């Protein structure tokens, strides 16, 4: 689908809401608050979306590692093996 204008984008989003699809982070924020806001207890980055998560995480981990930071990443999707879900820069 090609978005032709700002108004067209707003109309498209309203149609999605009528179908029960809510593009908002409010639900995630409520869950995090209920869990005691764990994301505020340590520096973190959440990478989400449909495409490009793997390359984005690879780039971020490279940047963090080059700056002398320790990183840990967990992913959920179609990895080849269960152990492929976790990556870090220290010995386990």
Per-residue pLDDT tens over the stretch 10-65: 888 888 888 887 777 887 888 889 989 988 888 888 887 778 888 888 899 889 88
Rg for the chain, CA atoms, rounded: 18
Contact 85, 75 (CB under 8 A): yes
Largest Cα separation within the chain, whole Å, is 52
Residue pair 61/43 in contact by the 8 Å Cβ criterion: no
- Which helix (H) or strand (E) segment holds residue 72: the answer is strand 72-74
| CA–CA gap between residue 74 and residue 67 (Å, rounded) | 20
pTM of the model: 0.47
């Amino acid at each position: 689908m090609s978005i032709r204008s700002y108004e067209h984008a707003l109309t498209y989003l309203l149609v999605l809401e009528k179908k029960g699809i809510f593009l908002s982070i409010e639900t995630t924020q409520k869950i995090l608050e209920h869990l005691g806001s764990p994301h505020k207890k340590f520096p973190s980055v959440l990478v989400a979306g449909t495409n490009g998560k793997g390359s984005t995480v690879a780039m971020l981990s490279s940047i963090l590692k080059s700056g002398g930071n320790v990183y840990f990443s967990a992913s959920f999707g179609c990895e080849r093996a269960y152990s492929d879900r976790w990556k870090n820069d220290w010995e386990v």
